[in-house]
Each structure stands twice: as structure tokens, then as C-alpha cells.
């Protein structure tokens, strides 16, 4: 029987509805509208689309958004000055710096300059540390999206073997840590794989839950998946056939019990997690 599809769009709609209610309650109780400041440097078309979508998502749940668009030749000091101003601005609860930044700007310096209480992407080292210690202020958006996909589809995690392929700071590494923590939506036994992992297929075939964040189109094929496994495909690759994931959908579908599509899997939920973090940030600052 082909795998059950884990529909990220439907789940994102449901969570957006929940968030819209929570935002309305927050506004009623505090007289303040949660506000996200999006910072966009340069004119990269993909980044412009991402920021436009994120602002539209905000609209849908009643979060206010601001766009701070700077030219491609902005200096690091100019960008840091804007971040400092947004850090001080009490009307701004969350700050999102759209990546990538132009080459003259060190992304790390900018992300570390964001007030950790407004760091809705959870990229600041203080927030990364809190995640590692199992007492997160914000959860990083894509790992949180993967966790929600599993939890809300009733896929057991505790005691299962989760294999994460890819160890980036924004996806694989924090996700491996989150799934291995004590507590709800966690308690997995985790294996973290990367480009230096020998015989990757031997490990992926042991996974009850296989999560792939590599950035290579159709990299994981059905023969690398344990029959009955849950497969979460984080990858987004632009090919001549359109957007495809890191998992070969056709062959994986014949083996896995549950599988996320691309598009329409992790992506829409990642965007929702940013909204949840913005509401959390508003709560921190208005307390
Ligand atoms: P990175 O390029 O930062 O990391 C890729 C990881 O894959 C690295 O850890 C790398 O290993 C590993 N890798 C590369 N080749 C192999 C291989 N042959 N075998 C095993 N591991 C390998 O990517 P990101 O984590 O930023 O993104 C991964 C994918 O997820 C991309 O397609 C991206 O577009 C997508 N993405 C999707 C999001 C969503 O919302 N759905 C959000 C963010 C990303 P090593 O460390 O050894 O180099």
C-alpha cells in the first residue's frame, strides 16, 4: 500500500487558525499587536518572495509586519545600525533577517546582534544554547515544523530510532538535539548522518523515522528506507521538473508508511512556526 501522505498545507492551515485565536486573545489582553520586522538586503528574487510570503502569513493571523528593505550595497555597519534600532523599538517584538546577505556583510555578526528576546528564527547562540539545554525560548522554525508534523500526525517518537541526514545549524543539528531531548515529541534514539558518513544506506535502513535535509534532489531512494518507516523530506530543490525534495518520492512511497510531499510538506509548516515564535516574542516583551 502506498505511504500515507503527511499534508503540511492542511496542518499549517489548522495551526494558523489556532494562532489567529491566540493572537486575538493577546491583543485583547495586552492592547498591543504582535509585530514582526522583516529585514531584506538586496534584490534577490527568491528572498523577496520569501519575505512577501512571510508578511502575508502574518496578515492571516493578525500579526503586524514591517518591511525594512535595504539596497544590495548596504554596509555591515548600516545593517547593524538598523538592527540596533529595531532592538530598541518597543513596538517591534520579532526581528527576521532574511538570508542570504550580500558578501560584504558577515551573517554571523548580524544574527548575533539581534536581541535574543526578538530572535524569532532562534539563530542567536543564546537561543541555540537554550534549545540544547532543553529549555527553549524559541524553537528553530524548520526543526519545529518537522516535530509538529510527527506529533500532530500521531507518529510515535519516544523510544524510536530517528535518523537525521544533514547536520546544518538551521535544520539537521538542532533537530537531532530536539528529538533526543527528554519530553513530549522527543525521547527518540537519534543518529545524525552527514557527508562523511560511510555506508549511509545501512544506517537510513535502520530508521523508524528518517528525516532528510541534504539539499540534493531525490538523494534518498526507496531501497534506503526501512519498510514501514516515516519519512520526512526537508529538501527543496529546483529542477527542470519543478520543485523536488531530497527523497525520491515515487520509490519512497512504495516502501514508507508515511511520507511528506515536496512541495506541501515541511515548507508551509516552517512558515507557521515563525508566526508562533513572533507571538511568543510579544509575550516576552509585554510581560
Ligand atoms: P546545508 O547545505 O547547510 O547542509 C546540508 C547537509 O547535508 C550537510 O550537513 C552535509 O554534510 C549533508 N550532506 C551533503 N551531502 C551529503 C551526502 N552525500 N551524504 C550525507 N549527507 C550529506 O543545507 P540545509 O540544512 O540548509 O538545507 C537542506 C535542504 O533543506 C535544502 O534543500 C534546503 O533548501 C532545504 N530547506 C528546507 C526548509 C523548509 O522549510 N522546508 C528550510 C531550510 C532548508 P556536511 O556537514 O558533512 O557537509
pLDDT at 285: 80
pLDDT at 287: 63
263 preceded by a cis bond (ω within 30 of 0): yes
pLDDT at 239: 95
Mutate to test the pocket of ligand 1, among 234, 260, 277 (most ligand atoms within 8 A of CB): 234
Is 96 in a helix, a strand, or coil?
A: strand
Pairing of β 64-70 and β 189-193: unpaired
pLDDT given for residue 29 in this prediction: 96
**Separation of alpha carbons 207 and 191, rounded Å:** 9
Nearest CA to ligand 1 atom 25: 168
Q: What is the CA radius of gyration of the chain?
A: 19
The position carrying cell 504582535 is 34
The set of residues, in sequence order, having a beta carbon less than 8 Å from that of 219 and lying 6+ positions away, is 212, 235, 246, 247, 248
Q: Which residue has the cell 557527508?
A: 195
Q: Quick one: fold of 141-267? A: Rossmann fold (3.40.50)
Nearest CA residue ID for atom 17, ligand 1: 195
Residue 243: name the closest of 268, 224, 226 by CA: 268
pLDDT of residue 283: 96
Angle between helices 8-30 and 45-61 (to 10 degrees): 60
Marked catalytic residue, from 57, 119, 121, 208: 121
Active site residue: 57, 64, 98, 119, which one? 98
C-alpha cell belonging to residue 195: 557527508
Mean pLDDT by groups of 10 residues along the chain of 287 residues = 95 98 97 98 95 96 98 98 98 97 97 98 98 97 98 98 98 98 97 98 98 98 98 96 96 98 97 98 86
Among this protein's residues, is 54 annotated catalytic? yes
For residue 88, give Cα distances in angstroms to 28, 67, 84, 112, 184. Answer: 24, 17, 6, 15, 35
CATH number at 31-115: 3.40.50.10860
- How far apart CA 205 and CA 216 sit, in angstroms, is 19
> What pLDDT sits at residue 66?
98
Q: Is the CB of 195 under 6 A from ligand 1?
A: yes
- What are the structural domain ranges in the chain? 31-115, 141-267
Residue 1, pLDDT score:
83
Return the number of other C-beta atoms located less than 10 Å from residue 207's C-beta.
Answer: 24
Which residues have CB under 8 Å from 176's CB, separation 6+?
162, 164, 167, 190, 192
Would you say the CB of residue 268 lies under 6 angstroms from ligand 1? no
Fold agreement between 31-115 and 141-267: yes
- Of the candidates 57, 49, 50, 47, the one whose C-alpha atom is nearest the C-alpha of residue 17 is 57
Amino acid at each position: 500500500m502506498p505511504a500515507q501522505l503527511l499534508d503540511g498545507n492542511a496542518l499549517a492551515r489548522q495551526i494558523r487558525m489556532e494562532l489567529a485565536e491566540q493572537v486575538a486573545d493577546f491583543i485583547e489582553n495586552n492592547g498591543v499587536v504582535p509585530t514582526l520586522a522583516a529585514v531584506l538586503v538586496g534584490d534577490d528574487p527568491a528572498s523577496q518572495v520569501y519575505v512577501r510570503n512571510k508578511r502575508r502569513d502574518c496578515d492571516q493571523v493578525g500579526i503586524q509586519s514591517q518591511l525594512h528593505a535595504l539596497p544590495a550595497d548596504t554596509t555591515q555597519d548600516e545593517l547593524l545600525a538598523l538592527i540596533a534600532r529595531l532592538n530598541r523599538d518597543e513596538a517591534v517584538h520579532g526581528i527576521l533577517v532574511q538570508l542570504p546577505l550580500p558578501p560584504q556583510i558577515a551573517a554571523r555578526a548580524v544574527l548575533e546582534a539581534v536581541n535574543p528576546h526578538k530572535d524569532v528564527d532562534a539563530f542567536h547562540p543564546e537561543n541555540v544554547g537554550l534549545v540544547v539545554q532543553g529549555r527553549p525560548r524559541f524553537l528553530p522554525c524548520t526543526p519545529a515544523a518537522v516535530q509538529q508534523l510527527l506529533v500532530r500526525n500521531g507518529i510515535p517518537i519516544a523510544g524510536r530510532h530517528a535518523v537525521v541526514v544533514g547536520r546544518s545549524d538551521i535544520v539537521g543539528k538542532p533537530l537531532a538535539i530536539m528529538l533526543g531531548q527528554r519530553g513530549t515529541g522527543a525521547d527518540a534514539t537519534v543518529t545524525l548522518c552527514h557527508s562523511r558518513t560511510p555506508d549511509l544506506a545501512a544506517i537510513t535502513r535502520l530508521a523508524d523515522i528518517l528525516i532528510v535535509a541534504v539539499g540534493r534532489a531525490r538523494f534518498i531512494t526507496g531501497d534506503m528506507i526501512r519498510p514501514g518507516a516515516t519519512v520526512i523530506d526537508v529538501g527543496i530543490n529546483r529542477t527542470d521538473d519543478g520543485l523536488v525534495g531530497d527523497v525520491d518520492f515515487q520509490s519512497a512511497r512504495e516502501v514508507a508508511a508515511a511520507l511528506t510531499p515536496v512541495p506541501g510538506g515541511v515548507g508551509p509548516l516552517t512558515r507557521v512556526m515563525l508566526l508562533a515564535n513572533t507571538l511568543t516574542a510579544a509575550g516576552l516583551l509585554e510581560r
